[in-house]
């Protein structure tokens, strides 16, 4: 695994794109790094891959730390591989903005599937803004899809706002809980209900599991019956029992994922949600570009003088913003 | 507390501003509601209050759920009140984006200081985007300052990205931990070190407290010695022992807060950080206004046709964004 390439491949983005479309793993890894580093080549890369970037079905796995998400992702991967499909995995760790905490988990997991060319794993930690993480995750998902993986699994830690943003990028969200996470469930119940397509109670042999499952089933049923719940697809969130470490319940979970996919496809909701997601991405791209131009212009007069007056307390931010807005150029650069 | 006003006050923003500057609590509550609801009057309100909005010293209190942050905020408030100062409190709950989870805590706490006209408490839950919460929190802090509170305490749950964003708005950050939060400390250590100005280990009579304190002191010392740590002010993060419920250690904590304030003031860092904060607010205002104009224009042709083509998969987001950007108008509306 650590042997150097005798002939390092080209870093030319177009050449990398062609190699990714032929299934070259090393080229895929390079493209992902370009995307993570916000290379100026990213727009060209994403344009070139666009026609192939919607071919994967994307499953999110989220839940509190210690719920066994990584183990579950490993088991799901093994089942999908046994069925002959290749799998792309994105592990997102937004909980540690300063440390890049995803690296260790990545290394540990790489061992299990290191020799399987049908599995591609990538970890992503927060770099700078949280919004940036969700955007980069979306791009990596599409790279994995374009590289020919029919399944992409996205694992995130926790169910805070960042995770909910990332979960907007997936087709089916599995929320993994353990009996110990009962308190978290109380706090987050409404958010969990909005986010989850399937509940999986892991370590289901422990005390408290039947109680948690009953509670979740009741909440899921109430939520489904509620007039305020999302009604574009008729789906009552199922609650499954799981012992991922012993491979118990994984077959059933995969069957529920396939059933949810079928419901989304039959109702036309899968296509419409993916369309909304792409339109939302346009907004993100526009806002990012606006901010980039703002930063460029902020270095020069008369922009700079206005910001300095604000920092010195001589001018309030609202007056400054009203003066600066028409000074920003949106012409093609 | 529930008695209706015999003569409900004017909702005219300018009249409210004048009453806030005279210390009228009801007018302050109304203005905060206008800010939270993004009333069109917000720019005028914030401009009018600007000269008075930097007079408060802002202390953030953060840490994991169950660490006793609310109790500590109550005790700090009691000590500050005993010294004759009035106190504004903002309780921010970003952990529950769908439920507005801050409401219950607000009601419980209101009891303790309900009859004290020297204390003003406001809870804020996530509304829409996380960025929006940090922005609104910043505005509420300045309203509380302009209303004449020399101290504003900001309480947040957890130490995720949202909390770190909110903590950017304060002058001194107190991170409260309990012996049980040892695991969280392991995960978040680097982030905690960046965020904290003072560590307070609460429930310090419990087993594990001395160990956690020794660990934090060691980490704080290493961080202070590290060449990569922030060096604009020479400050090694102190680690204090606390039993907030029994009022043990609160005097010492307040002394450390005052010592940190003195260090920031003496080095000129307080003024420069506040200046940077105001300049950053200009960027947020500009980006928000850009997004608002985008949403308005997205309803009309030819903007709409391009977004529809993206949603249908006929056009990739990058090409669409490049076409749309020069179409957005930044002229004064």
- Partner B contacted by A263 (CB < 8 A): no
Q: Which residue among B50, B126, B311 sits closest to A161, beta carbon to beta carbon?
A: B126
Confidence of residue A54 (pLDDT cuts 50, 70, 90): confident
B77 within a domain of the structure (yes/no): yes
Same domain flag for A30 and A109 = no
In the prediction, which pLDDT does B277 show?
A: 87
DSSP string, B49-94: HGGGTT-SEEEEEE-STTS-HHHHHHHHHHHHHHTT--EEEEEEET
Percent of chain A at pLDDT exceeding 90:
39
Residues in chain A closer than 8 A to B307 (CB atoms): 279, 282
Q: Which two tokens stand for residue A264?
A: 């989304």
Same domain flag for B262 and B285 = no
Range of the domain at A40: 10-52
- Partner B contacted by A23 (CB < 8 A): no
Residues in chain B closer than 8 A to A98 (CB atoms): 190-191, 194
In the prediction, which pLDDT does B254 show?
A: 98
Residues in chain A closer than 8 A to B319 (CB atoms): 47
Percent of chain A at pLDDT exceeding 70:
82
Residues in chain A closer than 8 A to B289 (CB atoms): 321, 325
Same domain flag for B68 and B162 = yes
Same domain flag for A311 and A189 = no
Same domain flag for A234 and A159 = yes
Neighbours of A66 (CB within 10 A): 13
A273 within a domain of the structure (yes/no): no
Same domain flag for A172 and A188 = yes
The verdict on a CB contact (< 8 Å) between A290 and B285 is no
Same domain flag for B256 and B302 = no
B184-239 tens-digit pLDDT:
555 555 567 778 999 999 999 998 899 889 988 988 888 888 776 666 888 999 99
Percent of chain B at pLDDT exceeding 70:
81
Give the residue carrying structure tokens 């594990």.
B208
Residue A309 · residue A320 · CB < 8 Å: yes
A127-179 tens-digit pLDDT:
544 457 778 888 899 999 999 999 999 998 755 666 777 788 899 999 998 88
Backbone angles phi, psi at A114, to 5 degrees: -60, -35
The region of weakest confidence among A100-104, A204-208, A300-304, B115-119 is A100-104
In the prediction, which pLDDT does B131 show?
A: 55
Q: pTM here?
A: 0.75
Same domain flag for B211 and B323 = no
Q: Which residue among B54, B281, B318 sits closest to A285, beta carbon to beta carbon?
A: B318
Same domain flag for B287 and B226 = no
Backbone angles phi, psi at A57, to 5 degrees: -95, 130
In the prediction, which pLDDT does A305 show?
A: 93
In the prediction, which pLDDT does A164 show?
A: 72
A3 within a domain of the structure (yes/no): no
What is the count of structural domains for chain A?
A: 3
Same domain flag for A32 and A71 = no
Same domain flag for A252 and A287 = no
Q: A288: nearest CA in chain B?
A: B287
- Partner B contacted by A330 (CB < 8 A): yes
The verdict on a CB contact (< 8 Å) between B294 and A287 is yes
Residue A282 · residue B320 · CB < 8 Å: yes
A244 within a domain of the structure (yes/no): yes
Residues 200-259 of B with CB under 8 A from A: none
The verdict on a CB contact (< 8 Å) between A191 and B94 is no
List the beta bridge partners of residue A243. A248
- Partner A contacted by B299 (CB < 8 A): no
Neighbours of B284 (CB within 10 A): 16
Residues in chain B closer than 8 A to A52 (CB atoms): none
Residues in chain A closer than 8 A to B287 (CB atoms): 287, 290-291, 294
Confidence of residue B3 (pLDDT cuts 50, 70, 90): very low
Domain C-terminal end among B266, B294, B316: B266
Residues in chain B closer than 8 A to A189 (CB atoms): 99
The verdict on a CB contact (< 8 Å) between B191 and A162 is no
Give the residue carrying structure tokens 């409404």.
A190
A311 within a domain of the structure (yes/no): yes
Task: Report how far residue A13's alpha carbon sits from residue A24's, in angstroms, rounded to the nearest whole number.
Answer: 13
Q: How far is A167 from chain B (nearest CA, A)?
A: 14
Residues 300-329 of A with CB under 8 A from B: 307, 310-313, 316-322, 324-326, 328
DSSP state of B325: G
Assess whether pLDDT exceeds 90 at residue A122: no
In the prediction, which pLDDT does A220 show?
A: 86
Averaged pLDDT, A51-64:
87
Pairing of strands B151-156, B119-125: unpaired
B42-81 tens-digit pLDDT:
888 988 988 888 779 999 998 877 788 889 999 999 999 9
B280-301 tens-digit pLDDT:
889 889 998 999 899 888 888 8
């Amino acid at each position: 695994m650590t042997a150097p390439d005798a002939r390092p491949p080209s870093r030319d983005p177009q050449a990398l794109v062609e190699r990714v479309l032929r299934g070259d793993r090393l080229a895929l890894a390079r493209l992902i790094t370009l995307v993570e580093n916000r290379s100026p080549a990213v727009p060209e890369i994403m344009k070139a891959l666009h026609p192939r970037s919607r071919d994967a079905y994307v499953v999110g796995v989220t839940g509190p730390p210690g719920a066994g998400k990584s183990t579950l992702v490993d088991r799901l991967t093994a089942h999908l591989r046994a069925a002959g499909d290749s799998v792309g995995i994105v592990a997102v760790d937004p909980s540690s903005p300063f440390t890049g905490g995803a690296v260790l988990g990545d290394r540990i997991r790489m061992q299990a599937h290191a020799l399987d060319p049908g599995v591609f794993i990538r970890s992503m930690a927060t770099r700078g803004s949280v919004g940036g993480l969700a955007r980069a995750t979306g791009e990596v998902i599409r790279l994995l899809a374009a590289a020919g993986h029919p399944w992409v699994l996205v694992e995130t830690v926790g169910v805070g706002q960042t995770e909910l943003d990332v979960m907007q990028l997936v087709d089916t969200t599995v929320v993994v809980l353990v009996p110990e996470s009962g308190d978290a469930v109380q706090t987050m119940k409404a958010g969990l209900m909005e986010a989850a397509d399937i509940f999986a109670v892991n370590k289901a042999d422990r005390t408290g599991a039947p109680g948690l499952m009953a509670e979740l089933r009741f909440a899921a049923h109430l939520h489904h019956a509620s007039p305020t719940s999302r009604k574009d697809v008729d789906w009552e969130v199922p609650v499954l029992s799981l012992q991922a470490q012993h491979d118990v319940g994984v077959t059933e979970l995969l069957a529920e994922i396939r059933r949810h996919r079928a419901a989304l496809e039959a109702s036309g909701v899968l296509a419409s949600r993916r369309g909304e997601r792409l339109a939302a991405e346009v907004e993100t791209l526009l806002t990012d570009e606006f901010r980039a131009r703002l930063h460029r212009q902020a270095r020069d007069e008369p922009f700079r003088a206005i910001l300095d007056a604000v920092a010195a307390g001589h001018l309030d931010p609202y007056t400054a913003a009203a003066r600066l807005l028409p000074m920003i150029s949106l012409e093609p650069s």
